[in-house]
Amino acid sequence: MEIRIGAEAEFARGRVERRSLLGRHIAIFRRADGSLAASEASCRHQNADLTAGTCEGDIVTCPRHGWRYNMVTGECLTESWARLRTFRIWAADGDVFLDTTPL
């Protein structure tokens, strides 16, 4: 299912924003090149909110114990088993849309 999650202007480069959709917490990330990425927003270690972590390039570091995630691929750089589910996301006519089915 495709859902409008906000206006493009709400998503600044280099920041991770959190949205709650259908009972899921989704992290929305605008990359340095302007493209968007979306993944689960909770760290696999102890479910800390990744949107409260630090962001460097495509990598977000969990604020609780420092686990690192590639926000584009969902890959956990700390533990290979801890991959996040990712979602298709795109912008059109100033709005941002998300497909709620994980990739």
Proportion of the chain above pLDDT 70, given as a percent:
100
> CA 99, CA 77: separation in Å to the nearest integer?
25
Residue-range domain boundaries for the chain: 2-102
Tokens representing residue 33 in the block:
């090149």
Q: Which pTM does this prediction carry?
A: 0.89
- Choose which CATH entry (2.60.40.420, 2.102.10.10, 1.20.1440.230, 1.10.10.10) describes domain 2-102: 2.102.10.10
pLDDT digits (tens, 9 = 90+) for 75-88: 999 999 999 999 99
Tokens representing residue 10 in the block:
């709400």
User: Exposed, middle or buried by CB within 10 Å (0-12, 13-18, 19+), for 39?
Assistant: buried
CA angle in degrees (0–180, nearest 5) for 47-52-55: 110
Tokens representing residue 16 in the block:
């991770």
**What's the pLDDT score for residue 88?**
97
pLDDT digits (tens, 9 = 90+) for 30-64: 888 889 999 999 999 999 999 999 988 899 999 99
